Structures are given as structure tokens and as C-alpha cells.
């Protein structure tokens, strides 16, 4: 009877070992499936991130190009304004020289101005 009990206990242990091995195999298969699914998901995320980064780079380059055009236009306007300022300054200088020469000529006696 002791042998029968030992045999039954060994049978239960072998059955339990088989169940444990089956469960481990199923767990391993499930882990493999989840790993593949995770790799697909991460691949999708990497692709989306790369695409978004590319779009942001293109948008930034476009914006910088537009800013360069605007800055060039502002620089041209500033150069034109500087040129116009020099012309106005030159005209005012010429006018001041003419008025100064007229005043000096009046005071030095070259031109006589008579008020009646």
C-alpha cells in the first residue's frame, strides 16, 4: 500500500510537472507574441516620430527662408532710406552753405541791401 501511495504521489507530481511545463510553454509563446506586437508598435511610433520630425524640419526651413526674404527686404529698405537721408543731408548742407554765404556777403559789404 505504501508503494501504491508513492506511485500515486509520483503520478500527481509528474502530472503537475507536465501542467507546469505546458503553462511555461504557453507563457513563452504568449511572451513571444507580445514581443512581436511591441516591436510592431515601437516601429510605428518610430516611423511617426521620424515623419513628424521631418515635417517640423521642413516647416522650420520654410519659415527661416521666409524670414530671410523679409530681412533682405528690410535691409534694402534701410539702405534706400540711408541713401535718401544722405541726399536730404546734402541738400540741407548746400542750402545752409548758400544761406551762410549770403549772410556773410551782406555783412562783409559785397552785397548791399537797402530797406526803405
Contact 88, 95 (CB under 8 A): no
Whose CA is closest to 22, among 10, 11, 30, 32? 30
Q: Is the pTM of this model over 0.95?
A: no
Whose CA is closest to 100, among 108, 46, 75? 108
For the segment 48-73, what is each residue's pLDDT rounded down to a tens digit? 999 999 999 999 999 999 999 999 99
Separation CA 93–CA 100 (nearest Å) = 10
E strand map for 42-89 = none
For the segment 74-111, what is each residue's pLDDT rounded down to a tens digit? 999 999 999 999 999 999 999 999 999 888 888 887 66
Amino acid at each position: 500500500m505504501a508503494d501504491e501511495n508513492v506511485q500515486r504521489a509520483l503520478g500527481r507530481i509528474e502530472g503537475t510537472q507536465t501542467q507546469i511545463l505546458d503553462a511555461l510553454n504557453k507563457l513563452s509563446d504568449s511572451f513571444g507574441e507580445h514581443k512581436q506586437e511591441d516591436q510592431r508598435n515601437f516601429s510605428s511610433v518610430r516611423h511617426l516620430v521620424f515623419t513628424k520630425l521631418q515635417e517640423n524640419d521642413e516647416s522650420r526651413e520654410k519659415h527661416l527662408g521666409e524670414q530671410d526674404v523679409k530681412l533682405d527686404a528690410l535691409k534694402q529698405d534701410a539702405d534706400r532710406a540711408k541713401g535718401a537721408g544722405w541726399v536730404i543731408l546734402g541738400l540741407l548742407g548746400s542750402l545752409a552753405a548758400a544761406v551762410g554765404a549770403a549772410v556773410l556777403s551782406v555783412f562783409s559789404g559785397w552785397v548791399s541791401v537797402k530797406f526803405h
